[in-house]
Structure 1
Amino acid sequence: MNAKSDPGLLARRSVQLPTGTLELTLEQGSEEVDELLGFAARANAKRGFLFLSKVLGKHWPVTPSCMIAIHDRLAATVPATDGPRSGAPVVFIAMAETAIGLGQGVFEAWLRAHPGHPALFIHTTRYRVGSGPLIEFEEAHSHAPRQFLHLPHDPALRDLLLHARTLVLVDDEASTGNTFLNLANACRRLNPGIERVHLATITNFMGEQATQALTARFGLPVTMGALVSGEYRFTPGEYTVPAGEAQRFDPDADRGASVRFGRLGLAGALPAPETLAARLAGEFAPGATVAVLGTGEFMHAATLLGAALERRGVDVRVQSTTRSPILAWGAVGHVLRFPDNYGEGVANFIYNVAPGQYDHVLVCHETAPSAALRELASQLGARLFHFKSEDHVEEVPVC
């Protein structure tokens, strides 16, 4: 998947951030890198930069159709399963919080291309749901490093996980491979029969040599599918990171996170909220601009609502709130801060969405209505939609 390191084919650039200097060497995808990627500065002592994806639907507004096209492209990088175990389940795991929507979209795109093949989607999380087994692993460079994987409660879904031969790990970018390795090792302790791992990312900045060494490092065949690849070097500057927590995990706390949308596994695609989309599209004036926002880890349902609106001719963009602190610089033109709707008491943010920028803002959330959500809605003049299940969505009064 990666271009050879022919010096004549490499594109180089240097980006001076408030937090330091980022130097890039691009081996593949340089012709579309500016369409896929921007650069931002993170308020993070561990990592002062961010490869900000313009097609992820997290920090940058994007049309649902553009996102789905990216999902299709990454799903197509998953190698075909063949041989005597060609019918074995394929497990897709998306990385919290940033890549949950991406991973679920890639899973659904793969299902469309492989109808009837057994597969499981599950995403890592920062929250406990239910009382079942919980696997912890580290994302060392993250602002909130603790991640967890729940074992599916449903016996059929757990069986898919425990009998899979192919593991597909999805994140927006790869830089060291450490988090992928930690998660793959955790999965192999559960299922020693895993035979191959595929990494699907929008960007791979591990470099060609480190990418080629993945198989030896993981101890089984590893393939990589990325739209942009290369390597980077970051030289920190003198920026002082402000104090503040991004994670206060309490294993006994109920944060209102749902069990229905991927934390405990899904064997099929989520249905789009077509009835809601039809009603809303009928309410919007012709040419109205609409933003559909997910909240935290709850991303993919917002994309599906946005896609259903787009199919009805609505001018719509999708993105999500986040707990990741990013400076107003570069690819981040506007920062809005609001309370955490999951109740951890940590700051949350929405980037590149300013009050009055859109004619309509729809906030999609899995957590119960709260003062935090109403404050976000008040700042943006938004409407709140509580997704209680895949087909049960209630609009919540803001006042």
Structure 2
Amino acid sequence: MDKAVNDGSDRGERPVRGEGPYRDEASARGEGPYRGEASARGDGVWSGSWVAERLGVALVGDDTLTDLLGLALRRNPKRAHLLVSNVLGKHVPQSPSVVYGAGFTLGRRVRDLLGAAGARTAVVLGYAETATGLGHAVADGLGDAPYLHSTRRPVPGAARAGGFEESHSHATSHLLLPEDPALLAGDGPLVLVDDEFSTGNTVLNTIRALHERFPRDRYVVVALVDLRSAADQGRLTDFAAGTGARIDLVAAARGTLRLPAGVLENGQALVAAHERAAAGDPARGERGAPSGAGDGRIARVDLSWPAGVPDGGRHGFTAAHRRRLEAALPAMGARLAGALPPGARRVLVLGCEELMYAPLRLARELERLVPAADVRFSTTTRSPVLAVDDPGYAIRTRLVFPAHDDPADGPGERYTYNVAGGDFDAVLAVVDSTADTPALHAPGGLLARLAQHTPHVLLAVVPSYVPAAPPACERPAMLSEPLRGPAFSSYAPDEVGWLLQDLSDVTLEAPTEEREEAIQRGGAHYAESLPVEYQPSERYQALFHAALEESAARIAHAVGVVTETVLAERSPRPVLVSLARAGTPVGVLMRRWARHRHGLDLPHYAVSIVRGRGIDANALRWLAGRHDPRDVVFVDGWTGKGAITRELAAALREFEEAEGVTGFDPEIAVLADPGSCVRTYGTREDFLIPSACLNSTVSGLISRTVLRADLVGPHDYHGAKFYRELAGADVSTTFLDAVSARFDEVTDAVGAAAKELLSADRTPTWEGWAAVERISEEYGIHDVNLVKPGVGETTRVLLRRVPWKILARAGAGPDLDHVRLLAGQRGVPVEEVTGLPYTCVGLIHPQYTRGATGADGKAVAV
């Protein structure tokens, strides 16, 4: 099956009891490899029946599936239900041999699938936080495969090799931080491991992001359970065909999760009702009252962890690391066994969020050395789940405590489940040194909470692995000074300085259809080429000028409000740094307002930011060398779903960690914020900003920015082109002058609006992101990058991409005249819909294929 998806169904791989992937020494002891802790304390009732009965959720499959999984409810606005694995070692305390055996045997199946040659060149990637231990065990089963897991913990000095989004998760952003930058760059198979494969969105997002940078011929997706619908299975097949790579699937069990209509709302209501009932009863969800048996002291156990061996796969774990750890495990296990209280019958080894593999291996060693004790393993988590003390519910109890590992998302609650009421004689908490903080030991911290429910609490600390610092790079003594007009751009030299390199002599343009196909197939990043510049018809140019006349005062008002907000809240003398190129006309207008109303001559620069690649670090270095980063205000034209807002925040965190430069504020100032993604804006209305109607001819004749390895070196700014040959069609200054001419007439209104805005609650709601996710699912796109919300983004779709259809808010007026004209010229349907939070949304088909044609002979998406 070349270049296709293989799910193993034709090989009879569905596991059966007694012959499946969990046979190990636990089975030999007669424990039964599928026995979940919650079920063991009950009466044999399936630990998903409570949710199934109340919400109508159905888990359809054989006994293997229901033995592997229970159900619970979580506090998550994106997904109400939680599939609770009985063999993952996250929420349900389980025999460490069963947990490790589940992953190890899946790894053996992958090794058989790939053959000896494929197994030798494979790399395994696990998902944070639930599958970090599972992925590591799969890598062990595969043989000598190196292992890396994604992380939600930024690490100072660690360079980011990529990242992706897990849209349904409680915490969505994943980072990839390998110590060896070549780890993901090989051409061998990439094995992606997650605990469940429910829709396939996360895997698709991962492969799409990695294939763009590190294309390869083969991927293997591994999960404990595969619950995809028939439609989702077909989507992965189509995706594999589009990338030209083969994608295989290996799962321990398969089935279907059937969700009735309204399950999200009904689940949230059920959670709310139970939490209201528990509000007056702090002990609810912690079976019985705390024992208070602990004496308040925590006994530390010195592991003597081998120096240089990583605590897990956050930065990569090699075959050499594996051999050293295996050699050290017996001695570390003996130290733990010697620290247990005499006669301990039941012992829990508790890992810490992403730190699953090291505690799991220690627990398995303890299980081997102390056969008389019932040793169990589970891990703390950041996922908020409702606890219900019922045999038919998978999460019987929960403990709540403050985060103690200096998380990127700030202080918050963390949880451990099914530990209270577990009758453990001792709990051994295993954390890495980063998480061994005062918060861990504080009253109400994890250790204190555990001491309320067990007479003995032990603590073992694994040293957090610190990647080796790369060799110091030689940097040029001085970065280039900004480019300025008229040599670069048609703007006056004092209006803006471009922190870019001039690529005007390089041919970068490609036909729109060709670019679209290359981008969606993963063969090219959108910033590696340029679309052919759209040259407007006379009718379209007339539309632009009419729109400018109609909206100039409205834009002037928004410019004034955002500038006054910046001066009042951010800095009395801000340094404006626009995100090229849509932000640059706005930055020029803000500079003009500050000079016109306050006599301020503000510095203004334009820099490049690229989705998926971050902001130009050399431009940041230049800015930090000449200005106080605290004065820098990043400026953009408008927000859509907020992707650039997120990209900027992540890029600045990475720059701060790598360079040690602090002070850059990731909060973008925008003219319009229809997506409710930022706090600093001129308006949150979605209306026509005429600078969105055109490309370079309204942006100083500058192209989109370019980032390509053969053109942009490590010491270069990102690039762009100056289209001098389009000077005859240039309306950049016309646009600026038309808006600036209306400043005086809107001054009073701006003052009142800015005063009101400064006292208002402007907390972003991210409703735009939620709307985009909903539209993506409703229209079967399943990739938020192909949904472009708002008038500005929709115009870009029509000018630069291959559009599928346009969604227009019912009754939208002249703001959409240019959209309707462009759509008509390209044969793109405009569909009016009700309840749209934006004036319009542009959709790009996720599987565009050049050469397919419609009845009119034009290329279409298929």
| Equivalent in the alignment of 1:230 | 255
Summarize deviations over 1:259-283 as a string: whole Å, max 9, x none.
7521111112244543232123134
Aligned residue type for 1:276: M
Q: In structure 1, what is the Cα distance between the partners aligned to 2:334 and 2:310?
A: 27
Q: 1:17 to 1:33 in 2, by over 3 A?
A: closer
Equivalence for 1:333: 396
Which whole-Å CA distance do the structure 2 matches of 1:134 and 1:322 have between them? 25
Matched, 1:370 2:393: no
Q: Name the aligned partner's letter for residue 385 of structure 1.
A: A
| Alignment partners' CA distance in 1, 2:331 and 2:206 | 38
Residue 114 of structure 2 corresponds to residue 81 of structure 1: yes
CA distance in 2, matches of 1:365, 1:278: 18
Mapping 1:1-399, distance limit 5 Å: 1=7, 16=51, 20-26=55-61, 30-78=62-110, 80-81=113-114, 86=118, 89-111=121-143, 119-129=145-155, 130-150=157-177, 152-154=178-180, 158-192=181-215, 194-208=216-230, 210-211=232-233, 213-218=235-240, 219=243, 220-235=245-260, 236=263, 237-238=265-266, 239-240=268-269, 260-268=311-319, 269=322, 270-271=325-326, 273-284=329-340, 285-312=342-369, 313=371, 314-329=373-388, 330-343=393-406, 344-354=410-420, 357-366=423-432, 367-374=434-441, 375-381=445-451, 382-388=457-463
When residues 138 and 209 of structure 1 are mapped into structure 2, their CA distance, relative to the original with a 3 A threshold, is same
TM-score, normalised by the number of residues in structure 2: 0.39
Task: Determine the structure 1 residue equivalent to 2:835.
Answer: none
Q: Is the 8 A contact 2:119 2:142 kept in 1?
A: no
1:134–1:347 CA distance, 2 compared to 1 (3 A):
farther
Task: Find the residue that maps to 2:162 and give its secondary structure.
Answer: strand
Structure 1 residues 101-110 or 218-227, which shifts more?
218-227
**Per-residue CA distance 1:224-245 (angstroms, 9 max, x = gap):** 11112122232314334679xx
Q: Is the 8 A contact 2:199 2:229 kept in 1?
A: no
For 1:133, give the aligned amino acid: R
Which residue of structure 1 lines up, in the alignment, with residue 559 of structure 2? none
Q: Residues 87 and 102 of structure 2 are in contact (CA less than 8 Å); yes or no, is this contact kept in structure 1?
A: yes
Do the aligned partners of 1:14 and 1:21 also contact (CA within 8 Å) in 2?
no
Question: If the length of structure 1 is used for normalisation, what is the TM-score?
Answer: 0.81
The 2-side partners of 1:2 and 1:31 are apart by: 19
User: In 1, distance between residues paired with 2:464 and 2:158?
Assistant: 20
How far apart are 1:93 and its partner, in Å?
0.6
Q: 1:14 to 1:209 in 2, by over 3 A?
A: farther
Tell me the distance in 2 between the aligned counterparts of 1:281 and 1:88: 36
Which structure's residues are more often strand, by fraction? 1
Q: 1:21 to 1:143 in 2, by over 3 A?
A: farther
Distance 1:71 1:37 in 2: 15
- For 2:349 and 2:130, the matched residues in 1 are separated by 16
Partner amino acid, structure 1, of 2:364: A
Q: Output the amino acid matched with 1:274.
A: P
Where 1:189 maps in the other structure, the secondary structure is helix
SS in 2 for 1:80: helix
1:319 is displaced (CA, Å) by 0.5
Aligned pairs, number: 353
Q: Let me know the Cα RMSD of the aligned residues.
A: 2.6
Give the CA deviation at 1:368: 4.3
CA-CA distance at 1:105 after TM superposition: 1.0
Deviation at 1:18, TM superposition (A): 9.1
Contact 1:202 1:226 in 2 (8 A): yes
SS at match of 1:162: coil
- Mean CA deviation greater in 293-302 or 181-190: 181-190
The amino acid of 1:107's aligned partner reads A
Gaps of 5+ in 2: 1-6, 11-47, 276-308, 452-456, 466-862
Could you tell me whether the CA contact under 8 Å between 1:293 and 1:321 is conserved in 2?
Answer: yes
Q: 1:184 to 1:310 in 2, by over 3 A?
A: same
Contact between 1:197 and 1:223, CA under 8 Å: does it hold in 2?
A: yes
What is the CA–CA distance in structure 2 between the aligned matches of 1:56 and 1:183, rounded to whole Å? 22
Contact 2:65 2:254 survives alignment (8 Å): no
Alpha-carbon shift at residue 378 of structure 1 (Å): 1.4
Structure 1 pair 203/356, CA: closer, same or farther in 2 (3 Å)? closer
CA distance in 1, matches of 2:52, 2:256: 17
Alignment CA distance shift 1:190-1:328 (3 Å)? same
Distance 1:51 1:275 in 2: 36
Read off the aligned partner of 2:330 and give its amino acid letter.
E
CA deviation after TM superposition for structure 1 residue 338, in Å: 0.4
* C-alpha separation in 2, matches of 1:280 and 1:14: 38
The 1:88/1:291 distance shift into structure 2, 3 A limit, reads closer
Deviating more after overlay: 363-372 vs 339-348 = 363-372
User: CA 1:17/1:347 → structure 2, altered by over 3 Å: closer, same or farther?
Assistant: farther
Going from structure 1 to structure 2, the CA distance change for 1:387 and 1:178 (only over 3 Å counts) comes to: same
Give the superposition deviation at 1:308. Answer: 0.7
Deviations 1:333-380 (A, max 9, x none): 101000101232121000000167211101111124223322211111
- Partner AA of 2:138 in structure 1: V
What percentage of residue pairs aligned between the two structures are identical? 35
Deviation for aligned residue 1:332: 0.6
Q: Which has the higher contact order (CA 8 A, sep 6+)?
A: 1
Residues of 1 paired with 2:120 and 2:374: CA distance?
41
Structure exhibiting the larger radius of gyration computed from Cα positions: 2
Name the CA distance, whole Å, in 2 between partners of 1:19 and 1:322: 26
Partners of 1:87 and 1:281 lie apart in 2 by: 36
Structure 1 unaligned runs (5+)? 5-12, 112-116, 244-257, 391-399
SS of aligned partner of 2:114: coil
